Structure 1
Amino acid sequence: MRLIAVARGDAPPDTVIEGARVFSAFTREWLQGDVAIAGGRIAGVGAYEGGERIDGRGKWLVPGFIDAHVHLESSKLTPREFARAVVPRGTTTVVTDPHEIANVAGVAGVRWLLDAAEGLPLDVFVMAPSCVPASGFESPCGPLGPDEMREILRHPRAIGVAEMMNFPGVIAGDPDVLARMVAAHVDGHAPGVTGARLDAYVAAGIGSDHEATTPEEALEKRRRGMWVLIREASNARNLVDLLALVREHGPDYCAFCTDDREPDFLFREGHIDQMCRIAVGEGIAPEDVLVMATLHGARAHGLLDRGAIAPGMVADVVLLDDVVDFRASLVLKQGRRPEFGGATARGLEGTMRSIPVRFEIPGAPERVRVIEIQPGQLITGAGVEAPRVVDGHVVADPERDLAKIAVIERHHATGRVGLGLVRGFGLRAGAFASTVAHDAHNLVVVGVADDDMRVCAERAQALGGGLVVARGGAVRGELPLPVAGLLSDEPVEVVAARLEGLQELLAEQGVAIGAPFMTLSFLALSVIPSLKITDRGLVDVDAFELVPLALGEDAASGGNGRISLSRDAFVARFGALYEASPWVAEDAWRPEGFADAEELHAALAAAMYSASEERRIGLIRAHPDLGERVAVLTGASRSEQSGAGLDHLSPEQYERFTALNAAYRERFGFPFVICVREHTRESILASAGVRLAHSREHEVETALAEIAKIARLRLDDAL
C-alpha cells in the first residue's frame, strides 16, 4: 500500500535518484525523470518530493546486471567473496547451477551454498543440478537423483532444473535422463547440436542453451525458441563471435552469462560489465547491450520482478559514469547500498579421499589418441600420434608438446586413475594439478615428469584440495581450496593474486595458453566433444563411449595383441567376466574386434554402464555374499575369496561376515560387492562399515565400479 501511495505522489519515497538518464529496458530508450524507491522497489519515474536524494546528473541509470548462467564455484570464492567481486561492478542477480559442489557434497553442498549466500547484496538463484554425474563415465561423490533434485527445488530461491548436459540421453529419450526434468523450467547444454537432433532436444521442453560457439549454431537454436545465453568465460570466450547474431537479428532471445570465470578475471577485468564493455567496443548499440545484460536474463528464467526500472520492480539499480566503459559509480540493491557482512563459515572440509597412484603407462603402441586443446574453447580435438616410448612405457614428449594427463578418483579412495596424453599446454618442465575438474571434481594432473605429477597429487591431497605447481621434485606454488576442494576461504584479492602467481610459474615452465587451470579443469568433462578423460579412462564424446589410449592393429596392452572372435566364441570366452551375466559380453561384442585388452575392457564396462537399471541391479545381485559357505560359487569367485582368506574364516569371523551381509542386504536389497583382491579381511569389514552409511544410489554406483575392477582383473587372467 505504501508503494502504491508513493507511486501516486501521496507519500514520500525512501530514496530518489535525480537527473540521470533512465534506461527503459522494455523500449530500449532513455527517459528523463527522477526515480523513486520505496520499500526496496521502484515506485515510478517522474517528479517526487522527500526522501534521500541521490544526484545522478550526467550519469546513466540502468537496472542491475543479471548473469543468466554461472557456476559460482568456478570463481574459487565463497559466495560472500564472489559478491564482493561482482556487486560493485553492477551485478545484482545471478542464476547459478551448483552442480560443482553437488558433485562433491550432494544436497548438503547445495544447501551450504544457499545458506552462505543468504543476506548478501546479491540475489543467488539456483537451478537443481540435473546431471550428477554428468555421464556414466564420471565418478562424483554420489549421484543426485530426481528425489534429491525435488528436495533442492523446495528452497524458495530454487527456480528450475539446471543444464541438461546429457544431451545424447535427452535426444534418445532415455527414461532415466528424462526423469530428471522435475520442473517446468529447464536449462540446456547442447554443444554443436543442430538439425533433427536439436528439434528432439527442444521438444523435450528445454528452453535455453549457453554452449553455442558460432553465430550459425546460435541462430538455429534461437529460431527454435531457445534463449541463447551468450557466454564469456575464462576459457570459453564466445562473446565476440556470437555478437554477429545480434548485429544481424537484434538482441531478442539473447542474454549474457559468464558460466565459469576464475577470480583473476573477475577481479581484474570484471563480470557482466566487462561483457557490456566488449560488446559496445564491437559496435553493438548500448541499448541492445543493456537489454541483454538485464531484462533478458530475468525473462529467460521467469524472474518477472527484476531486470528493468519500472513500477513494482525490485530496486536493483546501477549509476554508470558512461555507456562505454560501464563503470559503476553507485550500486543499490533493493534500494540500499551494499553491505557484505562477515566472513563465510568454511564447512565442507575433508573431502579428499584419494590414495597414492602410479602414473606409468605400460606398452609400446604405434599410435595413441591425444586430447587436443582448442584455445579459448571448451571443445577439444581428438588427435592421433606415434608416442614416445622408453623402457616399454609411453612417456611425455615435451618437444612435441605431448604431456601426460591423469584423473584420479578422489571421493572414495578407489585408486582408480585414467591416463592419457594431451597437447596444447606447451608445458616443457614439471607438472600442475587441480581438484577443480568438471564436473565430478576428481584430482586432475598434467605433467612431463612422473615424479612431479606425484608431488602435485600428494600436495593437493594434503591441502584438502587445491591447485599445485611443481618442478624438479618440489612444490613451487599452491592455492589451497579447503571448502569441498573447490573454494578458498581467502578474500578475492588474495585468491586472484595467488592464482596469477601460479600462472606465472607455469609460464616459466612453458605454458603459453590463457587460463591454464580452467582449461585443465574441463579436460575431465565427458559431455563436451570430442575427446576427454575421466578416472575411468578416455571418453570419445561423439561416440559416447570409453576408448583405449592405443589405436590400430599393432596397439599393445600387456603384449596381448588384437582380440577378434566370432560372437559365440567371444561370449564363450568373456561371458563369465561379469558374474553369471553373459549379456555384458553379448552387448560389448564388435565384429571388427578390439585393438587390445584396454579397448576390450572399456567396451565391456560401457556395456554394463549403459544397460537398463534392472539389468545393472541384476548384475549386482548375481554376486555372492562374502565368506559364502552354502551357495555354489563360480570358479572365479571361489578363487578370489580364497585369495583374500575368506574360505578359511573362524566361527567368529564367519559370524561377523554373516551379520555384515545381512545388514547390507536389508538396507540395499543386493549383496555387498568389493574387489577382494585389493583388500584383506580387515579392510573389507572396514569398507563395509563406511558403505552402510551411503544412499542406495551411491551404493549402486560403487558396486558397479567394484564389479568393473573385478572384471578387469579377471580379463587379465583370461589373457
Structure 2
Amino acid sequence: MEISTLKKRIQVASGAVPADLVIKNGKIIDVFNQEIMTADLAIADGVIAGIGEYEGNEVIDAESCFISPGLIDAHVHIESSMVAPSEFAKIVLPHGVTTVIADPHEIANVLGEEGIAFMLDDSEGLDLDVYLMLPSCVPAAPFEHAGAVLLNEQLLPFYRHPRVLGLAEIMDYPGVKNTDSQMMDKLASAAPFKIDGHGAGLDQTGVNVFAAAGIQTDHECITQEQAKERLARGMYVMIREGSAAKNLKALIPAVHEKNSHRCLFCTDDKHINDLIAEGSIDHNIRLAILEGLNPLTAVQMATLNAAQCFGLVHKGALAPGYDADFILVEDLQQFTIKDVFKAGKRIGKNGSPAGLENQKARGRQQAFSSTVNIPAMSAADLSIPVFDGQKACVIEIIPNQIETRKKVMEVPTAGGQFMPSSAHDLAKMAVIERHHGTGNIGLAIVKGLGLKNGALAATIAHDSHNLIVAGDHDEDMLAAIETLKTIGGGLAVTHEGKLLAALPLPIAGLMTGKSGFAVAEDLSKIYDALQKISVHQDFNLFLTLSFLSLPVIPELKLTDSGLFDAASFSHIPVVFGN
C-alpha cells in the first residue's frame, strides 16, 4: 500500500478530512455480531474507512435501505452459464455478487493450461472479482478421455497468479484414499493454499480421508446427516442451489447458531437464463429465509463466511479496512436489491448493470472454436445389443439432482437390440469422444427423460465434455450429433429427423462470446423445442443430461468407454450378469 493512501484512510477515519463517498441513512448489517447498525459509511479510495458520523465529497442517501456486504459465490463453474467471464460479470453483479470463487475445470478438460489462462485473461480487470481454484482432476478420473491431462507440474506455475487461491474440488476419492502419486503431488503442492472437496456419497471413513488430506470444503452434501458429518470433521459446508442440483431446502435445517459460521452458499452450475430470472447467491439467501433461516445469518453465510473460508481478509464485511463492496437492500426478508457498489463505485442499479452494458467482449474468444472432432457415424454405431428376457442396467435420473439410481430391469427389444420406449420412459444415450477423433462411443439406457420422437445433444458433458446425446430414435440422435459437428459445439434439439433449435457454443464447445441476454433468448428457443420432445418440464433436461457422464457421482453414469458404476468404480456391461 502507498503510504499516502494509508494516511488518507486514517485521516478519513478520524474525521480530519472528508471521505470520497459517504452513505447516509442506511441500516448497516454487522455480520460479525449479526446486528443492525444505524450510522454513516465512509469510503476512501474504494475501501471503508469508518462507521459513524462523516462528511464526504459525495453523499448518497440510502433511504433507510439495509446495507449488506457484497455477496460471494463460494464455488461456481462460470462455463456452466455458457458465457465468458467478462459477460458473466454483467449478469451477476446486479444481483449483488461482487466476488466469485471459480473452478475452470470445464474448459480445462477441453483445453488444459490454455483454458485456465483464457479464464484468467478474460476475467482480468472486471468489476467482478474472479478468483480461481486450479482444476485438480483433469480428467475427472484416470480412465476418462478428456481433451487434456493436467499433472501437478502444469498447475504449479499458476499458483503464482494473485487471483489463484488453491486447488479446486477433489473428485478422485480412490486416488486420495490409495495415495496415488500424482494426487499426492497435487495435494502437497496445494497444502499452503486452499483445497476444495467433492465428496459425493462419501461415508464417514471417506470424509475422514478427505479431511486428513487437507481438503477443507464440500459442496456435495444432499442430506442433513452428510452436512453434520463434514462439519464435525472441521470442513466447511457449501450449500448449493444451482440449475441442476438444488440442495438448499434439504440442508438449511442442519444450520443453527452454533455451526452457521462454517456454512457458505454456492451455485456450482447455473444456466444463464436462471441467473437472469432468479439471481445468484441472492436467490440462495431468499430461499434460506423462506426455509426459516435468520436473514442476518443468511447474509453472514453469503459474505463473511465465504471470505474467511478462502482467506479473503478484506472482503465479506462492512468494517474499516474492508473493501467497499456492498449492496443496498430495500426489504431484508425478500432481499430485494436496489443498488450495487464495487470498490465504492455504483455498478448496478435496480437490477441492471450500471455502465457495464456496452463493454465489449474480450479478444481471445474465437481462438478455441475447433474442438469437435468426431468421425462419420451411422445408426449401427448406436445399437445396444439386448435379447428378450435379459435384464439391463439402466441409468435412472433423479429430477433436480445430479446423482442417479442404478436400476436393473427388463427393457423392450427387437431383433436383439434395445428399443427405446416412451411408454416406459426409456431412451438411448451415447457419449462420443470429441477431442481427438478416437471414435470411442459409450452407450447406455436412460430412464426418466420423458422423450417422445426426438433427441437432445450437447458438448457440455461433465467433466470431460465429450459429446453426449439422448433420444428415442436413431435418426434424431444422428441429426443432433451432425448439427453439433457443424456449429462447433453447443446444444441441439431434433424432432422426427429435423433440427428444432440449436445454440452454438464456439468457445471450447462450452461458451459463447455473445451477451448473456442474447444467450438467454437462444436458450428460450431451446426450451420451447424441448417441450415438443419431452413430457417433463419440471427440471432442466440439458443440465441433467450433462451430468449423466460424470463418473465420480453415484450411482450409474456413462463415459465414452461405456457404462460406469460409481460403487465399484469400474465400467460394467449394459446387460446385467454379463
TM-score, scaled to structure 1: 0.76
Superposition deviation, residue 250 in structure 1: 4.6
Q: Secondary structure at the match of 1:69?
A: strand
In structure 1, distance between residues paired with 2:157 and 2:145: 22
Contact 1:362–1:393 (Cα < 8 Å) also in 2: yes
* Residue of structure 2 in register with 1:581 after alignment: none
* Residue of structure 2 in register with 1:214 after alignment: 223
Are residue 311 (structure 1) and residue 317 (structure 2) matched?
A: no
* Residue of structure 2 in register with 1:186 after alignment: 195
Q: Secondary structure at the match of 2:112?
A: helix
* Residue of structure 1 in register with 2:113 after alignment: 107
Are residue 355 (structure 1) and residue 355 (structure 2) matched?
A: no
Q: Deviations over 1:688-708 (max 9, x none)?
A: xxxxxxxxxxxxxxxxxxxxx
Tell me which stretches of 4 or more aligned residues in structure 1 moved more than 6 Å.
none
Q: Secondary structure at the match of 1:505?
A: helix
Superposition deviation, residue 11 in structure 1: 1.8
* Residue of structure 1 in register with 2:232 after alignment: 223
* Residue of structure 2 in register with 1:320 after alignment: 329
In structure 1, distance between residues paired with 2:206 and 2:116: 32
The percentage of counterpart residues that share the same residue type is: 43
- Counting only pairs closer than 5 Å after superposition, residues 666-685 of structure 1 correspond to structure 2 as none
Are residue 116 (structure 1) and residue 122 (structure 2) matched?
A: yes
Contact 1:137–1:539 (Cα < 8 Å) also in 2: no
In structure 2, distance between residues paired with 1:511 and 1:435: 23
Q: Secondary structure at the match of 2:207?
A: helix
Paired letter, 1:426: G
Superposition deviation, residue 383 in structure 1: 0.6
- Counting only pairs closer than 5 Å after superposition, residues 116-265 of structure 1 correspond to structure 2 as 116-181=122-187, 182-184=189-191, 185-247=194-256, 249-265=258-274
* Residue of structure 1 in register with 2:426 after alignment: 402
Paired letter, 2:190: A
* Residue of structure 2 in register with 1:711 after alignment: none
| Counterpart pick for 1:88 among 89, 94, 98 | 94
Q: Secondary structure at the match of 1:398?
A: coil
Paired letter, 1:523: L
Contact 1:69–1:94 (Cα < 8 Å) also in 2: yes
- Counting only pairs closer than 5 Å after superposition, residues 418-429 of structure 1 correspond to structure 2 as 418-429=442-453
Q: Secondary structure at the match of 2:346?
A: coil
* Residue of structure 1 in register with 2:505 after alignment: 481
Give the structure with the larger helix fraction.
1
Superposition deviation, residue 188 in structure 1: 0.5
* Residue of structure 2 in register with 1:290 after alignment: 299
Q: Deviations over 1:210-241 (max 9, x none)?
A: 00000111011001110000000111110011
Are residue 515 (structure 1) and residue 531 (structure 2) matched?
A: no
Q: CA RMSD in A?
A: 1.3
Structure 2, unpaired ranges of 5+: 1-6, 348-354
In structure 1, distance between residues paired with 2:56 and 2:129: 29
Q: Secondary structure at the match of 2:282?
A: helix
Are residue 74 (structure 1) and residue 80 (structure 2) matched?
A: yes
Paired letter, 2:297: D
Superposition deviation, residue 395 in structure 1: 2.3
The count of residues paired between Structure 1 and Structure 2 equals: 553
Superposition deviation, residue 172 in structure 1: 2.6
Contact 1:276–1:326 (Cα < 8 Å) also in 2: yes
| Counterpart pick for 2:459 among 408, 411, 435 | 435
Q: Secondary structure at the match of 1:225?
A: coil
Q: Deviations over 1:401-420 (max 9, x none)?
A: 11000000000011110001
* Residue of structure 2 in register with 1:469 after alignment: 493
In structure 1, distance between residues paired with 2:326 and 2:56: 19
* Residue of structure 2 in register with 1:551 after alignment: 576
Contact 1:103–1:142 (Cα < 8 Å) also in 2: yes
Contact 2:151–2:182 (Cα < 8 Å) also in 1: no
| Counterpart pick for 2:70 among 52, 60, 64 | 64
In structure 2, distance between residues paired with 1:392 and 1:98: 43
Paired letter, 2:239: I
Contact 2:42–2:56 (Cα < 8 Å) also in 1: no
Paired letter, 2:448: G
In structure 2, distance between residues paired with 1:231 and 1:526: 20
Contact 2:95–2:282 (Cα < 8 Å) also in 1: yes
* Residue of structure 2 in register with 1:555 after alignment: none
Superposition deviation, residue 363 in structure 1: 4.5
Q: Secondary structure at the match of 1:490?
A: coil
In structure 1, distance between residues paired with 2:72 and 2:56: 30
Superposition deviation, residue 192 in structure 1: 2.0
Bigger CA drift: 305-314 or 2-11? 2-11
In structure 1, distance between residues paired with 2:201 and 2:257: 21
Q: Deviations over 1:637-666 (max 9, x none)?
A: xxxxxxxxxxxxxxxxxxxxxxxxxxxxxx
- Counting only pairs closer than 5 Å after superposition, residues 504-583 of structure 1 correspond to structure 2 as 504-512=528-536, 513-552=538-577
Paired letter, 1:320: V
Paired letter, 2:335: F
Q: Secondary structure at the match of 1:499?
A: helix
Q: Secondary structure at the match of 1:453?
A: helix
Q: Deviations over 1:132-170 (max 9, x none)?
A: 000023211110110111122221100100000111221
Paired letter, 1:42: I
Contact 2:502–2:526 (Cα < 8 Å) also in 1: yes
TM-score, scaled to structure 2: 0.94
In structure 1, distance between residues paired with 2:21 and 2:386: 73
In structure 1, distance between residues paired with 2:65 and 2:23: 11
* Residue of structure 1 in register with 2:3 after alignment: none
